[in-house]
Amino acid sequence: MKSNIRNFCIVAHIDHGKSTLADRMLEITKTLEKSDKGQVLDKLDLEQERGITIKLTPARMHWKGYEFNLIDTPGHVDFQYEVSRSLSSVEGTILLVDATQGIQAQTLSTLYMAIDYGLEIIPVLNKIDLPAAQPERVAEDIENLVGIDKEQIISVSAKTGENVDKVLDTIIDKIESAESFYEQNKSKFFLPSSSEQLKNTTGVSRALIFDSVYDKYKGVVAYVKVLDGEFTKKDTINLLYSENQVVPSQIGYFAPDYIPTDSIKEGQIGYIVTGQKSVREAKIGDTMLSFNKTGSENIKAQNIDPKSYKDLRNFAIPGFKRMKPFVYSGVYPMQASDYDKLKDAFEKLVLNDSAIEYDNETSSALGHGFRAGFLGTLHMDITRQRLEKEYDIQTVFTIPNAQYLVKLKNLSHDIIKQGTNITKLINTNLYKHIIEEDVQLTLGDIPMEIKESLKPWIVVSSGGQMPNPGDIDIILEPYSSIEVVGPQEYGGEVMQLCNEHRGIMQGMESIDENRILRRYKIPLAEIIVDFYDKLKSNTQGYATMNYEFLGYEQSDLVRLDVLVNHEPVEAFSMVVHKDKAYSLGKSIVEKLKDLIPKHMFPIPLQASIGNKVIARENIPALKKDVLAKCYGGDVTRKRKLLEKQKEGKKKMKQMGKVSVPNDIFLKMISR
């Protein structure tokens, strides 16, 4: 029965026990037997190894005559979009808080998102079996923040299973049925332009894709929540934003493995095997639409062409957006001969992770490689580990950068003459930060006046791509909003760190008598390299951070180049604020002086902005003791030998090349 369906997800900070609680639920409901291999829903080897959830995982359970559909979500901010799509697929959420640590920054951000979606919040305290647990204090924090009576908070131990059955009973009592929630909030699941008649069209089935994965045997598998109607294997399904049409080869639900079934119905969560070859063809947030004969007639009656995706998009479920990488890094094979192997590995990774972007790039120091985009530094680190463990490729990742928008004075620049800059602006959706009109552009449909306004703009995702200062008119920099939760005694350290990274305080509030929530507006580039590590170090590991992208603002930025033996090394180039260029340039050449091994000739290291050198260090030459064979004798003989050596070093410096070991680029990632 549809009224017996309860859909919910578990949201919490990293390491608060989401996956462990999900495992106990699966065991108590007899969905799975007790497992010895760790978290059942964390299927990737890296998830088991690192103890974190990287990909969301659904599972269906049955409890006291009710069908439960659970989505176990990632806790890290890098995967926030997956969490938002999961929240839009359920009617309630379990807010899980560690009784030893209390509410953290990412807990708050996800909680606010769940409240915006109108979901029922069930607060649960975990790890009450630990000696360090403080359930009373943490319960008061939850009461103050969420407004729920602390007497209603359920205290559990996900590890031992204590009180987990009470959580299952509360889900039945508190969370609305999928059918009832949809009827009460129907307007949220249709575009504002949709008519009332459209919202009540019979014969039309709609489903939201909240995740998609690539299976080497099945192809792309779309994880869906059915909002209207029913989907069967015989249906022809339209993907509205991908503009694809598929006939499913299999339909089913998760238990938590794939269980084939004849159909999935309104209110249920399941999967549809699309047969597509890449997850880019079944995008997260897209709408699946099918209609029977009656539905087709009803659509035509409303002057909607069933073969036109532009018309069919009237049925789209709101909230779709492209997953946009925020962090860009050069990725090069440690061994040049592994380039083709790395290319194949990226092609396979993208099949399963639509958030990764990559393009060819060549560096004079590192050879052939790729410029790759990631959701954040954790996502980047996970990709590096997957390349190493799954594909056996040792790689070098250059210093991460954000993406900048640059307006050029010189319209004869090659990228502008070729028109590839506009292509990139449209493909990345960055044009929305340049033009004021709220329009959705596609490559085949750009009005001439908008094309002219976009013409001088280019996208820059590495220091080496930044044009000469004389060609630049304006640089727009991405900004983010961050929330830092930490003990009051470390307030000075947090404020100093944020100020050093060009942060602007937006406000602060007290969570409890000891912890403060601080909000800052800060450039994205300032937090993607080492900000989180410094925050943890400065606060003895107690502070936590959450961030979200705000938009682009004009900033006084420059390209900082590093020259080794008067030759610029593109992999070290970066975009920095003008006020920080000198101190950063000085620290880089000082660090390189210790890292680059000595050669047979002296090596000058320089940091420069344009043609102006702002910092310099010298690596002295390795010298043979040419005076060792001189036991006394005339001093002129010694001088002659030293002069001869000096001339040889000068000649060697003109002809010699500096070898920069690959591991230096890894060491330089940490500023």
Domain ranges of the chain: 2-184, 191-315, 327-397, 475-557, 559-568+582-668
Average pLDDT over residues 529-546: 82
Average pLDDT over residues 189-206: 83
State residue 614's pLDDT score: 93
Residue 136: both structure tokens together: 């009373």
State residue 47's pLDDT score: 46
Average pLDDT over residues 212-237: 89
Average pLDDT over residues 149-159: 87
Query: Above 80 in pLDDT, residue 195?
Result: no
Query: Above 80 in pLDDT, residue 78?
Result: no
**pTM to 2 decimals?**
0.75
Query: Above 50 in pLDDT, residue 671?
Result: no
State residue 45's pLDDT score: 53
Q: Which region among 28-37, 356-365, 459-468 has the lowest average model confidence (pLDDT)?
A: 28-37
The residue among 2 and 411 whose pLDDT is bigger is 411
Amino acid at 36: D
State residue 650's pLDDT score: 64
Query: Above 90 in pLDDT, residue 553?
Result: yes
Average pLDDT over residues 637-664: 67
Phi, psi at 556, each rounded to 5°: -90, 85
Q: Which region among 102-106, 576-580, 665-669 has the lowest average model confidence (pLDDT)?
A: 665-669
With bands split at pLDDT 50, 70 and 90, how would you rate the model's confidence at 415?
confident
Label the pairing between strands 120-126 and 92-98. parallel
State residue 39's pLDDT score: 52
State residue 54's pLDDT score: 52
With bands split at pLDDT 50, 70 and 90, how would you rate the model's confidence at 529?
confident
Nearest in space to 398 (alpha carbons), one of 75, 662, 52, 124: 662
Q: What is the CA radius of gyration of the chain?
A: 29
State residue 42's pLDDT score: 46
559-568+582-668 CATH: 3.30.70.2570
Query: Above 80 in pLDDT, residue 98?
Result: yes
Average pLDDT over residues 215-241: 90
State residue 601's pLDDT score: 76
2-184 CATH: 3.40.50.300
State the greatest distance between any 2 C-alpha atoms of the chain, in Å, as a whole number. 110
| Secondary structure class of 251 (helix, strand, coil) | strand
Q: Is 252 within 8 Å of 260 (Cβ atoms)?
A: yes
Average pLDDT over residues 578-597: 90
State residue 249's pLDDT score: 92
State residue 352's pLDDT score: 72
The residue among 52 and 663 whose pLDDT is bigger is 663
State residue 193's pLDDT score: 76
- Cα 160 to chain center, whole Å? 33
Burial 621-656 (b: 16+ CB within 10 A, else e): beeeeeeeeeeeeeeeeeeeeeeebeeebeeebeee
Q: Which residue has the tokens 């575009």?
A: 191
Query: Above 50 in pLDDT, residue 645?
Result: yes
Query: Above 90 in pLDDT, residue 506?
Result: yes
State residue 659's pLDDT score: 66
475-557 CATH: 3.30.70.240
Average pLDDT over residues 230-245: 90
State residue 1's pLDDT score: 42
Q: Is 211 within 8 Å of 288 (Cβ atoms)?
A: no
Average pLDDT over residues 607-611: 91
Q: Is 401 within 8 Å of 462 (Cβ atoms)?
A: yes
Q: Which region among 9-13, 125-129, 573-577, 605-609 has the lowest average model confidence (pLDDT)?
A: 9-13
Q: Which residue has the tokens 């647990």?
A: 133
Residue 179: both structure tokens together: 């059918």
Average pLDDT over residues 248-267: 92
Query: Above 80 in pLDDT, residue 646?
Result: no
191-315 CATH: 2.40.30.10
How confident is the prediction for the chain on average, in pLDDT?
Answer: 84
CATH-assigned architecture of domain 327-397? 2-Layer Sandwich (3.30)
First to last CA, the chain: 58
Amino acid at 166: K
Query: Above 60 in pLDDT, residue 70?
Result: yes
Domains 327-397 and 475-557 share a fold: yes
Average pLDDT over residues 289-315: 86
Number of continuous H segments (helices) and E segments (strands) in the chain: 20, 31
Query: Above 70 in pLDDT, residue 51?
Result: no
State residue 530's pLDDT score: 78
Q: Which region among 100-104, 583-587, 598-602, 657-661 has the lowest average model confidence (pLDDT)?
A: 657-661
d(Cα 154, Cα 82) in Å, to the nearest integer? 26
State residue 661's pLDDT score: 66
Q: Is 56 within 8 Å of 353 (Cβ atoms)?
A: no
